Amino acid sequence: MYKLAIFDFDGTLVDSAPGIIHVMKQVADEYRLSQEILEEWQHLVGVPLERQMEVIFPNHDDEFRKVVTKRYRSIYDKQAVEICPPFPGLWTTLDGLRASGVRASIVSSKRKHLVDLVINHHGLANYFSLVIGAQEVENHKPHPEAVHINLKHHSLKTEEVVVIGDSIYDLDMARNAGVVSIGVTTGIHGKDILKTAQPKWIVDRLEDVLPIILDGRMNVA
């Protein structure tokens, strides 16, 4: 049994992808972005917003990127709670971990205050021993810095920890840290893409991670 489960947030704990994409479309319409740019942007869900701007606007200056970033956040922040509904099975999973003495933490590319806003709204904050957002690390996923912070904070070894995420960025972070991972197909990347990051398991529902974390059952990757 693992002692700590490190969860990604968007697409793993909460079904936020449709809402994120809706906000992206609003911004794209306002700035008359091409469909090609919008599709490229949507594929970057899970990457910090500033990095998204660098990728989709390589030929624009920093000021333009900052303007678009500010506009995206002004729309998103007002809707953060509404567009981040918890996945079915979330409470069952967290209650099961707590009952077995397994701690849980969050590592997200979203700003921490937004993660805190959502988990507090849904009464989830007390389930998590640590929340790391985009501003709590210098190096974002797939860099292993956030996992290293978790290991130090919880005084654990790599073999005592498992990472759960819906994107290759989460799973690559785990692999780079020497930690096993579980891919979930509830977010932006399907099973075939998740397999490229070599998770130990892949599941289709959040609640399916519970028996794996507790005793390693359901080896379905």
Domain ranges in the chain are: 4-15+86-215, 17-79
Q: Which residues neighbour 49 within 8 Å (Cβ) at sequence distance 6 or greater? A: 69, 72, 73, 109, 134
Return the structure tokens found at 44.
């970057």
CATH 3.30.60.50 for domain 4-15+86-215: no
E strand intervals along the chain: 4-7, 103-107, 128-132, 161-165, 180-184, 201-203
Ranges in the chain, pLDDT < 70: 217-221
CB atoms within 10 A of CB 113: 12
- What pLDDT is attached to residue 220? 44
- What pLDDT is attached to residue 172? 98
User: 9: closest CA among 132, 142, 135?
Assistant: 132
Strands laid side by side in the 4-7 sheet = 128-132, 103-107, 4-7, 161-165, 180-184, 201-203
- What pLDDT is attached to residue 150? 99
